[in-house]
Structure 1
């Protein structure tokens, strides 16, 4: 019988007095009718490593001399029951067979990363760990012309200079995912991922933030650079890892086809608390006429 293995996140649970159950990756428990096959035989078949000595050890179900048994516990019957169970597990998506290549959620996606090393380095590691390909750039003109879907992530350990992201805000209209973050003092701002026309852009976030504060003139001047140098605490390894993890989660959602987001997040770098706010795109307004 072909060797089969449990898929990642799937577990077999032996329940006292109840037999075998399977725990799905979503945390649901399902009873398993093993028929004439003993639950421990099913567990052994689905969890042992290929070629282990017990596969051919005397007394094992697959050892040659033992195959001469008869009755409901005969190896031939057990193998038949196992084959039925393996098929059922495979049909339900609970098996990962030998030779299958485990694909990460970002496999097949190229992510272009720009910005400050303190953030781009952990982000690069996380994206690659999830199967994505990372390209680094310093300008939007450096973007490679890839045929596969891709996203652009721009990370700053400082406020975003006025106009820096204006050109990048046009990326979603080209079908490119657009994600960014920056730091203002002790707060890191993670803006929503935009993936198509009409999604929330950096310009939308700025307009919404200006509209939400009575200090809109001061905030606009701060963004324009009319302020003293920022001497506040920059990102630490922990806050950078948290920020990169949240950005990676957004990329995974985008790669899964969930499109853009309307979630603006603030990370307090002093205690790593995360606050979320819903933000909507700003409708286009016709110019005033006399």
Structure 2
């Protein structure tokens, strides 16, 4: 004899109590895993559905507490507490969107205008430059990894959007390394250098598709950093570029290089 399948949301959680055709109650956790309920009272489902008190209420409360503890542990795995403080430098629609998506996944996000405004509590600083003048202090911000603060740069050049390699220590590529490598790889280096240094103001706001793609990439990089993902080594040397005009997305390797020795006048 089989039982009628029943599903009931567990209050104050993302879990559900599920009774399948075998009649055995299981908790479906937010992760999609099913956990068998150990020796449940016969009226557990009814007690959850009605919210009435009785002998089953203590069991119901213990079950709810265990589920909440598991969900809290899942949240810590998704965004570890020691990497929860993220500071975003910049303004505009993309910055607002980044603040929302990071907060939705458990980060504590603050907005600042300069590196001096960044608290030592920040574990990561993300800068967005809408145009060339917004990057004028990036060389100063490149010193953040020496303070133990991760550093990620996003730039808009005309319609295109670029995300620099993630910098975790002083040995990672700086903003000047990215700029120099791009000029060296250009077929018109003088023009490329002029564009990077004095490019025109951004024309129109980022369209919806561009914004979604950039936010997805940023969340991917930042989440990999938060979890200490094995992909971090690659992300620390990868420049990501989106060209909305053609819909193309590309990645380019950027490696750091030592500063040139000072010139000696003889």
| DSSP 3-state at the match of 1:120 | helix
Among residues 173, 176, 180, which one is paired with 2:153 in the alignment? Answer: 180
Residues 262 and 126 of structure 1, relative CA distance in 2, 3 Å threshold: same
Q: Is the 8 A contact 2:158 2:200 kept in 1?
A: no
Shift of 1:188: 0.4
Among residues 133, 141, 147, which one is paired with 2:108 in the alignment? Answer: 133
Q: Is the 8 A contact 1:107 1:130 kept in 2?
A: no
1:22-54 Cα distance to aligned partner (Å, 9 max, x none): xxxxxxxxxxxxxxxxxxxx8787xxxx94229
**Which residue does 1:257 correspond to in 2?**
228
CA RMSD for the aligned pairs?
3.2
Shift of 1:116: 2.4
**Which residue does 1:115 correspond to in 2?**
90
**Which residue does 2:75 correspond to in 1?**
103
Unaligned runs of 5+ in 2: 1-24, 50-55, 57-64
Alignment of 1:272-287 (within 5 A): 272-287=247-262
Cα distance in 1, alignment partners of residues 248 and 27 from structure 2: 39
**Which residue does 1:236 correspond to in 2?**
207
The question of 1:164 aligning with 2:157 is answered no
| DSSP 3-state at the match of 2:194 | helix
**Which residue does 2:120 correspond to in 1?**
145
Residues 106 and 201 of structure 1, relative CA distance in 2, 3 Å threshold: farther
The question of 1:245 aligning with 2:213 is answered no
Cα distance in 1, alignment partners of residues 118 and 48 from structure 2: 53
| DSSP 3-state at the match of 2:257 | coil
Alignment of 1:42-53 (within 5 A): 51-53=44-46
Shift of 1:55: 8.7
Q: Is the 8 A contact 1:4 1:97 kept in 2?
A: no
TM-score calculated relative to the size of structure 1: 0.64
| Larger Cα-atom Rg | 1
- Structure with the higher fraction of residues in helix conformation: 2
**Segment of structure 1 superposing worse, 204-213 or 259-268:** 259-268
| DSSP 3-state at the match of 1:284 | coil
Shift of 1:145: 2.8
Cα distance in 2, alignment partners of residues 252 and 262 from structure 1: 17
Residues 152 and 54 of structure 1, relative CA distance in 2, 3 Å threshold: same
Shift of 1:134: 0.4
**Which residue does 1:199 correspond to in 2?**
172
Q: Is the 8 A contact 1:123 1:245 kept in 2?
A: no
